[in-house]
Amino acid sequence: MATHAPEVPTTAPAPRHAPGPSEPSTQPTTTEPSLQDSPTKPSLQVRNAAQVLSQSSNAVFFGGAGVSTESGIPDFRSEAGLYHAEHTYGHSPEDLLSVTFAGENPELFFTYYKENLVHLSARPNPAHQALANWESNGPLSAVITQNIDGLHQAAGSRTVHELHGSIWRQYCTRCHERYTLEWTLNPTNCREPNHVVPQCPACGSMVRPDVTLYGEALPEGVMEASAQAIAAADTMIVGGTSLAVYPAAGLVDFFRGSTLILINTSPTPLDHRADIVITQPIGRAMEDIRSLLDE
Ligand code: NAD
Ligand code: ZN
């Protein structure tokens, strides 16, 4: 959600090489279902992705809010999300979640945040589970996520680079004392008159979530670690992200492996750079890829 790019430790990314003759053909990259495809049969793109992953020795995943929509957490750059924010709160999500807005109107900031970004009952879906499985038993070396919901860790992923922080961590803006999410959700820990803004009992200042707001820099070291993981990978899966939030979206430029796989229910600005484009809900797509790999 930030706008400032920290320095990343690599020089200009090298161009990716095209798949060689011994590698599986990932062409054509059409996103339309072919005649052989059926609702029950994995699409050509899904089968190609499974073949690529079966031969990968170092894959990375880079995802966004779309990874968690099948867990019941809405994204907010979709039309419904934007409309909901404007209609209910009178502002866009970018405004409501900006550092300026949080400082000037903490009541509305916390109301929107708690009502829209905290989903205590959400559970990992097949996309989170497949990624955790491929880290333990397959080629996946890292998950890089713009999500703040902690669902990759809940599914069992261990190497998770959280570009925008996590709802599960909170700290006092003055004395830096740490608090749990449950603590901040308890109205008795929040200040008068609305009991929505958490207040540090040690120093009386506001307690805020450890998430990156629009206008803030990304957490130190996370961009660097993510760029390094991507630069070392032979395969990159990008899923459930509009690729509209920079500098996170620019991470794709660090990929110099052979196959870029894109999974999204709607077109993205980088579809033309992908070797395989899968236009499907990511949970279903990942479940199908996992089944093919397990065969
Ligand atoms: P975004 O820019 O990553 O956009 C979501 C993308 O996912 C869209 O392109 C949409 O077409 C796609 N998508 C939705 N459901 C999908 C599915 N089932 N399968 C495949 N693709 C799907 O995210 P955003 O909503 O604009 O949010 C911006 C930022 O806000 C995020 O980067 C994140 O920091 C934060 N956010 C986090 C969460 C979360 O933690 N779950 C949820 C909403 C927003
Ligand atoms: Zn304090």
pLDDT tens for 231-289 read 999 999 999 999 987 787 899 999 999 999 999 999 999 999 999 999 999 999 999 99
For ligand 1, atom 32: residue with the closest CA: 146
26 pLDDT higher than 50:
no
Domain that holds residue 273: 38-72+123-164+217-295
173: tokens are 């803006």
In a domain, 14, yes or no: no
- Cα 283 from Cα 80, distance rounded (Å): 20
**Cβ(198)–Cβ(206) under 8 Å?**
yes
User: Residue 82: what pLDDT?
Assistant: 65
Residue closest by Cα to atom 26 of ligand 1: 77
pLDDT > 50? residue 8: no
Q: Give the pLDDT score at 24.
A: 39
- Rounded distance, CA 42 to CA 51, Å? 12
Which pLDDT score is estimated for 29? 46
Report the chain's mean pLDDT, rounded to a whole number: 87
Indicate whether this model's pTM tops 0.75: yes
pLDDT over 80 at 55, yes or no: yes
254, part of any domain: yes
Q: Does a structural domain hold residue 133?
A: yes
Interval 188-216 mean pLDDT: 97
- Ligand whose nearest atom lies closest to the CA of 174: 2
Q: Is the pLDDT at 293 greater than 90, yes or no?
A: yes
Confidence of residue 183 (pLDDT cuts 50, 70, 90): very high
Please report whether residue 107 resides in a domain.
no
Would the pLDDT of 21 be above 80?
no
What is the sign of the dihedral through the CA atoms of 256, 260, 265 and 271? Answer: positive
Q: Which two tokens stand for residue 4?
A: 């400032």
Task: Identify whether 263 is part of a domain.
Answer: yes
Q: Which residue has the higher pLDDT, 112 or 14?
A: 112
Kindly list the protein residues that place their beta carbon closer than 5 angstroms to ligand 2, a single-atom ion.
172, 174-175, 177, 200, 202-203, 205
**How far is CA 182 from each of CA 35, 83, 189, rounded to the nearest angstrom?**
51, 29, 10
Q: Are strands 178-179 and 165-172 parallel, antiparallel or unpaired?
A: antiparallel
| Cα 121 from Cα 142, distance rounded (Å) | 25
**Calpha distance 209→180 (Å, rounded):** 10
In this structure, is residue 51 part of a structural domain? Answer: yes
- pLDDT surpasses 50 at 4: no
Closest ligand by atom to 73 CA: 1
Domain count, the chain: 1
CATH number at residue 245: 3.40.50.1220
Distance 24 CA to ligand 1 centre (A): 30
Residue 247 within a domain: yes
Letter for the amino acid at 136?
S
Whether 66 maps to a domain, the answer reads yes
- Which pLDDT value is given to residue 219? 85
More confident call, 231 vs 18? 231
pLDDT at 79: 65
Does the pLDDT of residue 93 top 50, yes or no?
yes
Long-range Cβ pairs for the range 135-138 (8 Å, 24+)? 135/159, 138/53, 138/59, 138/293
Q: Say yes or no: CB of residue 242 within 6 Å of ligand 1.
A: yes
Determine whether the shortest distance from the Cβ of 98 to ligand 1 is under 6 A: no
What was the pLDDT predicted at 39?
57
Contact 101, 1 (CB under 8 A): no
Burial of 3 (0-12, 13-18, 19+ CB in 10 A): middle
Taking a C-beta distance cutoff of 8 angstroms, is the pair 161, 226 a contact?
Answer: yes
Residue 89 in this model has a pLDDT that exceeds 90: yes
Q: Is 108 a residue whose pLDDT tops 60?
A: yes
Average the pLDDT over 185-202 and give the result. Answer: 97
How far is 87 from 229, CA to CA, in rounded Å? 40
